[in-house]
Structure 1
Amino acid sequence: MIPSYSIVVPTVGRPELPALLGSLRIACAGGPEPVDVVVVDDRPFPGPGHEPNPALDLGTDPVPGVRVLRTGGRGPAAARNVGWRSVRTEWVAFLDDDVVVPERWAAALEQDLAVAGPDVAGVQGRIVVPLPTHRPTDFERNTAGLETAAWATADMVYRRAALLTVHGFDERFVRAYREDADLALRVRKAGWELEHGVRFVEHPVRAAAGPLASVRAQAGNADDALLRTLHGRDWRRLTGAGRGRLPWHLATVAAGLTALGGCLAAVGPAARDPRAARTSAVLAGSAWAGLTAAFAARRLAPGPRRGDEGYGPELRRMVLTSVLIPFAAVGRRLQGTWRWRRALGGRVPAWPLPIRAVLFDRDGTLVHDVPYNGDPDAVVPVPGARRVLDGLRADGLRVGVVSNQSAIGRGLLTSARVDAVDERVRRLLGPFDTWQRCPHRPEDECTCRKPEPGLVLRAAAELRMFPAECAVVGDIGSDVGAAVASGARSVLVPTEVTRREELSAAPVVAATLDEVVTLL
C-alpha cells in the first residue's frame, strides 16, 4: 500500500515558485500523487484597503488540488506548521519554494517511504546545487553548503505523528535558519529516527541580494543563541552544524575595539600615558588587521582569480564584508543572548509554549447565536460562560474575543449597534483583555475574517505574546481554521450548527465550555 502524503511549500513570493509547481506536476504524474499540495504564503499582510488574494499572483495552478493559505509573514517555521496542521495524511513532504524536483521525484519518494520503519520520523532528500563552470563566488559556495546540511527542509518528509509528538517547528525561529535543525533534534530526543533517502531535488543558485547579503545573513547568530539556550553548549555537535567562526569573530571585534579605545585614550584630554595608549592601539590594530585579512583571504581563495570575469566586484565585496561580518555576527549573537536568556530571566520555555491567553468566538460560543443581532437585550450567555471566564481570569490567563461581524460590511448593522451588543456581552461576562472583530463580507477577501488568521494575530500582538501562546475556542470550522492559520491552539465546542466534517477535522473537541478548561 502506498503511504499517503501531502506537500507543503512555504513561500515569500519568490519568482522560482511556478517552476517548482511545474516540476511537481510532471513528477507527480510519474509516481504517486499527493493528497494535498499546500502553498503557504508567508508574505506580510498588506495594509487596510490593499488586501489582494495572494493566489492570484503565485503563478498558475499546475498541480491538481493545490491550496493557498496565508500566515502574515511570521517566518518559515510558522508557515510549515500551518501547512502540516491543515492536512491529515500519514506523511508531509516539505519543499522550499526555490527548488526544482526531477521527473522521478515522486517515485523516489515512494521508495523512501516504503523502506521507512515505524520508528522513522523523517527521511531527507539529497540537495543538489549546480554551480557554474567558473570558480564559484562566496555567495554561490554558501548556497552549495546546502548539499551537506543536516535535515534541511528544502526536501524533508516527516511522519505527521512525529510532528504531533513534538508540536512541529518552534515558531520562535523566525528566519529560514536553524528551525529545521531544532526540529530534527527534538524529534530524535523524542525517540524517533531520521534517515537519508534516495530522492533528490535541485537547488539553483539565486542572484545575491546585494553586496551586503553575507552581512545581513549574520542575523542567524541570534538563532544560534536560541538554539544554545534550548539545547546547551553542545548544540553544534548534536545538530550536526559543524564548527562556527564565532570565536574568531569575537577575537577580531575585541582587537578592533581595543585599537579604537587606545586611539581615543592617546588623543583624549585626560590621557595619562599617551605613548602606552598608542602602543596598545598599534598592537591591537595590527591584530585586527591580521585577523580581518586572514578572514578575507580565506573567503577569496576558492573564488574567482585575477583575470577571471567578476573578480573585481568579488574582491571589493569580500574586503568590505570581511570587515563588517565579525561585528555583525557578534552583535547579533549578543542580541539573541540578551533576548533569550537575560530578558526572559535566564529560562526559556521549551516548545510548545504554555497557554497564556484564551480567545473566544462570540456568537454560538459565549452567547447564544442570534443571526445579525443588533439588539443588546437579545444577548443571552451560554450556560457556564461567566464561570469559565472567571476561572481563567483567576488562573492568570488573559481572555479575549475574536468575532466575525459581516453584518457591518453587508450594511445590515452599523458599527455602533454592534458596539452596543459587544458592551452588553462585557457587562454580562466581565472584562476582556482584547476584543477583535472583522466587519468584512466574505467576498472582500480580507485577512481578518476567520478562517484567516488576522483576528488572532492582532489579539496576540495586543497581548504582547506569541500566537502559539493563545488558544482559540469556537463552535465552527472557521474558528479552528483561524487558529491553525495563526499558529494558535484550538478547541471546538460543537453546537447544532457545527457540521459533521468540521467536527471530524477538529484537533480537539470539548462537549461544553467547562470541559474546555481541562483540555487547554
Structure 2
Amino acid sequence: MTPSYSVVVPTIGRPVLGNLLTSLAAALTAGPRPLDVVVVDDRPFPRRGTNAPLALGPAPVAGVRVLRTGGRGPAAARNAGRRTTRADWIAFLDDDVVVPPDWAEALERDLADAGPEVAGVQGRIVVPLPEHRPPTDLERNTAGLEHAAWPTADLACRRAALESVHGFDERFTRAYREDADLALRLREAGWKLERGARHVRHPVRPAGNLASVRAQAGNADDALLRALHGRHWRRRTEAGRGRLPWHAATVAAGLTALGAGLTAARSPARRPAGARVTAVVAGAAWAGLTGAFARERLAPGPRPGDEGFAAEVGRMLVTSALIPFAAVAHRARGAWSWRGREVPAWPLPVRAVLFDRDGTLIHDVPYNGDPRAVEPLPGARRVLDQLRARRLRVGVVSNQSGIGRGLLTTAQVDAVDDRVRELLGPFGTWQRCPHHPEDGCTCRKPEPGLVLRAAAELGVLPAECLVVGDIGADVDAAIAAGARSVLVPTAMTRREELSSAPVVASTLDEAVPL
C-alpha cells in the first residue's frame, strides 16, 4: 500500500512560488495526489492593516490551502504546516524549486522503498548553470545545494519520525542550519535518512550585489548549533570545515592595522616607530588575506571577455573585504546570545499559558457587555493560582468581534475584562481582537496574531506558550503561532474540532498537568 503524503511549502511571497505551484499541478496530473497541499505564508505581519493576498501564480494546485504564520522563519513555517496535515509523510518543498512532470510518481517510488526505520528521503537537487561561461560566485554557492547534506528544498519526512523529535527547532529563524539540526536529532533518535531517485530543479534566483555579505548572518546559527551539539557539530552534521578561522585572522589583522595607524597618527611628534611598523605589517597581512580570499572566489568564475566579468570582479573585491567582518560579527552575536548557560534541547519547556476568555475561563454569554453577568467556570481561579505558584506566566487571548460588529463598545468590553481580572486575579498579558470576521485582520483567531503579541509582551518565545481554549479556532491559532495547545471542549465545540485537536482535556484541572 502506497503511503499517504501531504505537501508543505513555506514561502515569504516570492514570485517564484507561482512557478513551483504550476509545475506541481502538472506533476500531480500524472502521479498520486497528496492528501493536501499547504502553502505557509510566512511574510511578517504589517504593523497596521493586513497582508496583501498571497500570489499563488496563474495555475496553482487545485485546493491548495494557505496558512499565515507571521514571519517566524522556515523552521516554524514547516512545523505549522505539518501540524495541519494528517498524512503518513510530509513532502517539504522550498518555494524556489520547480518539480519535473514525473515528480509525484518518483516520490511514490521513493516512499514505497523506504523501510520502517527511514525518517526522511531527500530528493536530488539540480541547479542549472550557464553553459556559455563559468559560473559566478552566487551561481556556485547555489550549485552547492546539489551536494549538501539534507537540505529541505525537497525532503519527504515520515510524520512519526518528525513527531518523535518534535519537528524543526524554531530557534533557527533563517533558512540555514535548521535542516542540519533536524537531521542530527533524527539520527540520534535512531532513525535513518536516505537519498531518493526523484529530483527537482533549483534555478539561481537574482540577488543583490551584497547578497554574500547578508548571508553571513548564518554564522549566528552556527553558534546555536555549537551550543546544542558541541564543538564537533560540523563533523556530526556533515557541514564541512568552514572559513571562520581565516575570517577571524583577517579581522584581527585589519583591526590591528587600524588601531596602530590611529596611534601613530595621534602622536607624530613622538615618532612611535613601533606603532607605524605594526600598522604596516598588520595592514599587509590584512591585504594579503583579503586578496587571497578574493582570488579564491574569482578563480573559478567568469574570465575576461565573458558576460558580466567586470561586474563580478567588482562584486568580489568589495564583498571579500566585507565578508570577514560580517561573519565574525554575526558569530560573536550568536555566541553572546547563548553564552554562559546550558541551552535547552528542543522542544522548549512551557513558560506561559494563554487562555481563551469566553467558554474557557468564564461562562460564554454571547456579546456580553455587562460585568454583572461574568461568572467564572468551575476551577478557573484554582488553576490560574496553581500556574502562578509555579511561576508560569498567564495571559488571555480573546476574540471580541462584538466591537467590530457594532454590538458592543470598547468601554463595555473593558468593563467585562476588568471584572474577569477582579475575580480571577492578575494576568501578565491581555490580548483581544476587536475586528469583524470579514476585516481580514491578522489577530482574530484562528490567525496567530494574538498569540504572537502575547508571547512578545511576556518575553517568551511562541514555542514556550501553551494555549488553552474551547474551540478549533483556539487550537488553530496556537498551531499557526508555533505554540502548544489543549482543547477543553464545551457544548460549543464541534465534533471535528474535537477529533482534530492534538491534546484534549475534560476540564481545566486536567489541562494543568498536560
Q: Among residues 281, 285, 288, which one is paired with 1:287 in the alignment?
A: 285
Partner residue of 1:194?
193
Map 1:10-25 onto structure 2 (within 5 A): 10-25=10-25
Deviations 1:277-307 (A, max 9, x none): 1111111111111111100000000001112
Partner residue of 2:418?
423
Partner residue of 2:7?
7
The one-letter amino acid of 1:223's match is D
| Conserved? CA contact 1:267–1:274, under 8 Å | no
Alpha-carbon shift at residue 65 of structure 1 (Å): 1.9
Partner residue of 2:453?
458
The one-letter amino acid of 1:198's match is A
Partner residue of 1:320?
318
| Conserved? CA contact 1:124–1:156, under 8 Å | yes
Greater CA drift, 465-474 or 264-273? 264-273
Alpha-carbon shift at residue 54 of structure 1 (Å): 2.3
Alpha-carbon shift at residue 154 of structure 1 (Å): 0.2
Q: Among residues 326, 343, 362, which one is paired with 1:348 in the alignment?
A: 343
Partner residue of 1:207?
206
The one-letter amino acid of 2:278's match is S
Alpha-carbon shift at residue 507 of structure 1 (Å): 0.4
Partner residue of 2:374?
379
Say yes or no: does 1:510 pair with 2:505.
yes
The one-letter amino acid of 1:424's match is R
Partner residue of 2:246?
248
Normalising by the residue count of structure 1, what TM-score does the alignment of the two structures yield?
A: 0.97
The one-letter amino acid of 1:239's match is T
Task: Summarize the Cα distance change of 1:118–1:272 in structure 2 as closer, same or farther, 3 Å threshold.
Answer: farther
**4+ aligned runs moved over 4 Å, structure 1:** 270-273
Between the aligned partners of 1:271 and 1:397, the Cα distance in structure 2 is: 64
Between the aligned partners of 1:435 and 1:98, the Cα distance in structure 2 is: 39
Q: Among residues 488, 493, 509, which one is paired with 1:493 in the alignment?
A: 488
Q: 3-state SS of the aligned residue for 2:512?
A: helix
| Conserved? CA contact 1:265–1:271, under 8 Å | no
Alpha-carbon shift at residue 268 of structure 1 (Å): 2.4
Deviations 1:231-278 (A, max 9, x none): 011111111111100010011111111111221222223987611111
The one-letter amino acid of 1:120's match is V
What is the total number of aligned residue pairs between the two structures? 513
Partner residue of 2:119?
121
Between the aligned partners of 2:327 and 2:430, the Cα distance in structure 1 is: 40
Alpha-carbon shift at residue 323 of structure 1 (Å): 0.6
| Conserved? CA contact 2:355–2:467, under 8 Å | yes
Between the aligned partners of 2:243 and 2:271, the Cα distance in structure 1 is: 35
Partner residue of 1:179?
178
Partner residue of 2:235?
237
Say yes or no: does 1:36 pair with 2:31.
no
Greater CA drift, 187-196 or 475-484? 187-196
Between the aligned partners of 1:81 and 1:273, the Cα distance in structure 2 is: 63
Query: Percent identity at matched positions?
Result: 75
Between the aligned partners of 1:239 and 1:417, the Cα distance in structure 2 is: 56
Partner residue of 2:60?
62
Q: 3-state SS of the aligned residue for 1:142?
A: helix
| Conserved? CA contact 2:25–2:59, under 8 Å | no
The one-letter amino acid of 1:45's match is F
| Conserved? CA contact 2:19–2:57, under 8 Å | no
Deviations 1:3-39 (A, max 9, x none): 1100000001111111110111111111110001000
Q: Among residues 471, 476, 487, which one is paired with 1:476 in the alignment?
A: 471
Say yes or no: does 1:151 pair with 2:150.
yes
Alpha-carbon shift at residue 114 of structure 1 (Å): 0.4
Between the aligned partners of 2:9 and 2:187, the Cα distance in structure 1 is: 23
Between the aligned partners of 2:498 and 2:8, the Cα distance in structure 1 is: 24
Map 1:217-236 onto structure 2 (within 5 A): 217-236=215-234
Deviations 1:126-159 (A, max 9, x none): 0000001111110111111111111100000101
| Conserved? CA contact 1:41–1:54, under 8 Å | no
Between the aligned partners of 1:494 and 1:92, the Cα distance in structure 2 is: 29
Between the aligned partners of 2:431 and 2:164, the Cα distance in structure 1 is: 32
Q: Which runs of 5+ in 2 are unaligned?
A: none
Alpha-carbon shift at residue 53 of structure 1 (Å): 5.3
| Conserved? CA contact 1:226–1:340, under 8 Å | yes
Between the aligned partners of 2:16 and 2:267, the Cα distance in structure 1 is: 59
| Conserved? CA contact 1:53–1:445, under 8 Å | no
Greater CA drift, 382-391 or 60-69? 60-69
Between the aligned partners of 2:333 and 2:269, the Cα distance in structure 1 is: 32
Task: Provide the alpha-carbon RMSD of the alignment.
Answer: 1.2
Partner residue of 2:97?
99
Q: 3-state SS of the aligned residue for 1:472?
A: strand
Alpha-carbon shift at residue 441 of structure 1 (Å): 1.4
Alpha-carbon shift at residue 59 of structure 1 (Å): 2.7
Between the aligned partners of 2:205 and 2:60, the Cα distance in structure 1 is: 23
Task: Summarize the Cα distance change of 1:271–1:90 in structure 2 as closer, same or farther, 3 Å threshold.
Answer: farther
| Conserved? CA contact 1:99–1:204, under 8 Å | yes
Q: 3-state SS of the aligned residue for 1:195?
A: strand
Partner residue of 2:435?
440
Q: 3-state SS of the aligned residue for 2:156?
A: strand
Between the aligned partners of 1:60 and 1:373, the Cα distance in structure 2 is: 45
Between the aligned partners of 2:172 and 2:395, the Cα distance in structure 1 is: 26
| Conserved? CA contact 1:266–1:277, under 8 Å | yes
